[in-house]
Chains A and B, each alone.
Chain A
Amino acid sequence: MAQTVAVPSGAKSGPVFGRGELARRRREVVVAYLLLAPAVLLVFGVLAYPLGWLVGVSLTNSSVLDTDTKFVWLGNYAAFLRDAEFWRGSANTLGYLAITAILKMAVGVGIALLIARPFPGRPLVFVATFLPWAYPGGLGAVGWYWFLIPPLHSSYSVFMGDLHLFFDSRLGPGTWGFISLIAFNVWRGGSFVGIFLLAALNGIPEDLFDYATTEVKSAWRKFWMVTVPLLRPFLALATFLSLIGAAVDLGNVYYISGFRNVYPIVWTQAFHLALFGGQWGRAAALSLILMPMLILILFVCYRVFEPLEEDVA
């Protein structure tokens, strides 16, 4: 192994250190912790109080209507679990995350495969596909909002209004808002996933694809048996990263529409409960209640993109 001097291999395996080596390693560990400190402080230091507050409040019946705040332990959570409205909300949340994740993956893989090989004008198309994600999400949300749910006065308002009514009357009120939210998130996130996968395709040696191609004949089978497995860790990482984008876009659209577009999704419900209902205890519980699910997703994603965290062979 070439990595004896500069990369002490940590606690895991132990090349036996001499006395001087040991002192050096100890100094190195101290330096490492010092270097790590600012990032850890900026993340956990800033998050500690808000998260602790949320957890604490979620265990009480804190509400602006009732000054007599009492500890109710897991009462808020238990009440939600018995609430049919909550189950619909969490089903919608899961559906929203799943639909956008799948669509973003599909769009992303499509984009990456389309622009991976050279063709005339490639730089231009490449920059164009980069823009949906690079364009500030907050500003893009306003653009999409104006396009899909236009103000009264614009020339396409009637057409969009008809479309709006068409969907809402057939599939229930709020459908169009939901569709526009998904469209916005997929537009943005699909570009992110696509560029991410393009970076992956650029790094995977061509031989791997060529070798596999000799084994698999049909293009369809090649895609599922060669391309997808090779891209899987990158796909998992990109999906993990764009998952939170879905929540951010949801919040942004809700915020800029003056809190009018209420989506039956757990997080907007929590928001609504807090800001308009003043029921802090229940709102905090509602915003935290999906954490177990998110942690589960986290572990699955970690398992799949583990190869990216390995040392080079």
Chain B
Amino acid sequence: MRTTRRFLRLVQGVLLVLLAAYSIFPIYMVTVESLKTVDEDVFGSPFYVRHPSLEWYQNLFEEHEWMTHARIVTRTVPFLVWTRNTAIVFTAALAVILLSSLMAGYALGRLRPPAWRGWRRVLLATFLIPQTILFLPLYKVVFHLHLDDNLLALVLTYPMLAIPFCAWLFSVYFQKLSPDIEESAFIEGASRFTAFLRIVLPMSWPVVIAAGLFALGVISSDFMFAGVFLPNQWHQTIAAGMATMDVSLEDLSVVSGISLGGLPVLLIAALFAGSYVRGLTAAMIEGA
């Protein structure tokens, strides 16, 4: 009996190590690849780097238009500009997504206008519309609004990708949240708005984080819209810029760009992963 239990724990341990390795492996590969010199890229091992160097990262910070690595001349890119643009777009889009989803979720889950279940389903259903060639008519819209080559084009179109689920999440959360919490505030004479701002919102932050992280995941996996709407290199986000570099032929600076662009995300994920799970649980099951 005791040996079987020990055996099972060993199996679990091995599986856990495998799981962690499987999860990190591609990110690790990208990091290793980005730190290699030209020599080591060709003759070294794919799994580790013997003499790490940051030379490819220099391509990302435009000092000259071209840089020489060993005997290879490569183009540099304005990565800092891209990073700033990405930060602007993501912050603005996230704010729009969270605010409108929070409002819609509260309306559907708490105030429940006629046909609220229908509204919620129709909103969620738009999540399934395949975006394959939708970007073309969308580009016509963007063009007519004179938003092409403008970061606002993404701030306008990204919310559509994330609102369906975020609004759903908030609405099932508010639906399950006990109304007593606000009622006690109403008795004290607070308005619905004050009660929401002072009492409901502060206790709901895991759900806000869950929705926010989900939205971040969705908008950060977009290549298409960013690439199509932002043709000018100096107005691009990281995703758009990376998409213009032909990845299968281009030098290692693409890879270093990826690992640099991924860093803040890893940090955010590590910080908020716990709250993300708590928020999902609260919305889908408990209500508090």
By a CB distance below 8 angstroms, the chain B residues around A39 are: 100-101, 103-104, 123, 163, 167
Q: Of B113, B123, B133, which is within 8 A of A287 by CB?
A: B133
- Scan A32-44; emit 1 where CB is below 8 A from any B CB, else 0: 1101101110111
By a CB distance below 8 angstroms, the chain B residues around A54 are: 133-134, 137
> Is B270's CB under 8 angstroms from A127's CB?
yes
> Is B107's CB under 8 angstroms from A32's CB?
yes
Q: Of A125, A248, A258, which is within 8 A of B246 by CB?
A: A258
> Is A196's CB under 8 angstroms from B280's CB?
yes
> Is A151's CB under 8 angstroms from B248's CB?
yes
CB-contacts of B104-154 with A (<8 A): 104, 106-108, 110-117, 119-121, 123, 125-134, 136-138, 140-141
B74 on the interface (CB 8 Å rule)? no
Q: Of A115, A137, A155, A271, which is within 8 A of B132 by CB?
A: A271
CB distance from B271 to the nearest CB of A (A): 9
A227 on the interface (CB 8 Å rule)? no
CB-contacts of A282-313 with B (<8 A): 283-284, 287, 290, 294-295, 297-298, 302, 308-309, 311-312
By a CB distance below 8 angstroms, the chain B residues around A247 are: 130-132
> Is A256's CB under 8 angstroms from B247's CB?
yes
> Is B180's CB under 8 angstroms from A2's CB?
yes
B52 on the interface (CB 8 Å rule)? no
> Is A43's CB under 8 angstroms from B106's CB?
no
B231 on the interface (CB 8 Å rule)? no
> Is B239's CB under 8 angstroms from A114's CB?
no
CA distance A125 to B16 in the complex (A): 7
B63 on the interface (CB 8 Å rule)? no
> Is B137's CB under 8 angstroms from A53's CB?
yes
Q: Which of A3-11, A67-75, A81-89, A168-176 contacts B (4 or more CB under 8 A)?
A: A3-11
- Scan A105-148; emit 1 where CB is below 8 A from any B CB, else 0: 00000110011000101011111111111111111111111110
By a CB distance below 8 angstroms, the chain B residues around A199 are: 276-278, 280-281, 284
A223 on the interface (CB 8 Å rule)? no
Q: Of B96, B130, B132, B280, which is within 8 A of A294 by CB?
A: B130
By a CB distance below 8 angstroms, the chain A residues around B54 are: none
Task: Report how many residues on chain B are interfacial, defined by Cβ distance under 8 Å.
Answer: 114
Task: Report how many residues on chain A are interfacial, defined by Cβ distance under 8 Å.
Answer: 112
Q: Of A128, A137, A146, which is within 8 A of B20 by CB?
A: A128
By a CB distance below 8 angstroms, the chain A residues around B268 are: 134
From known contacts A155-B43, A199-B281, infer whether A138 and B248 are also in contact, taking CB-CB under 8 Å: no
A-B contact count (CB 8 A): 329
> Is B23's CB under 8 angstroms from A38's CB?
no
> Is A131's CB under 8 angstroms from B137's CB?
no
Q: Which of A15-23, A200-208, A209-217 contacts B (4 or more CB under 8 A)?
A: A200-208
Residue of B nearest to A234 (CB): B284
CB-contacts of A206-245 with B (<8 A): 234, 237, 240-241, 243-245
- Scan A162-192; emit 1 where CB is below 8 A from any B CB, else 0: 0000000000000000000000000100011
Residue of B nearest to A30 (CB): B113
Interface centre among B19, B126, B239, by most A CB within 10 Å?
Answer: B19
A-B contact pairs, 22 of them (CB 8 A): A2-B179, A35-B111, A44-B126, A47-B160, A125-B20, A126-B273, A128-B20, A129-B23, A131-B27, A140-B221, A142-B242, A143-B29, A146-B33, A199-B278, A199-B284, A200-B284, A200-B285, A204-B285, A244-B127, A244-B128, A252-B224, A308-B284
* Residues in A lying within 8 Å of B, measured CB to CB: 2-3, 5-11, 28-29, 31-33, 35-36, 38-40, 42-44, 46-47, 49-51, 53-54, 110-111, 114-115, 119, 121, 123-147, 149, 151, 153-156, 187, 191-192, 195-196, 198-200, 202-204, 234, 237, 240-241, 243-245, 247-249, 251-252, 255-258, 260, 267-268, 270-271, 274, 283-284, 287, 290, 294-295, 297-298, 302, 308-309, 311-312
* Residues in B lying within 8 Å of A, measured CB to CB: 12-13, 15-16, 19-20, 22-24, 26-27, 29-30, 33, 40-46, 96, 99-101, 103-104, 106-108, 110-117, 119-121, 123, 125-134, 136-138, 140-141, 156-157, 159-160, 163-165, 167, 172, 175-176, 178-180, 182-183, 186, 192, 213, 217, 220-224, 227, 238-239, 242-243, 246-250, 254-255, 258, 261-262, 265-266, 268-270, 273-274, 276-278, 280-282, 284-287
Shortest 7 CB-CB contacts between residues of A and residues of B: A137-B221, A203-B285, A199-B280, A134-B269, A50-B137, A39-B104, A32-B111
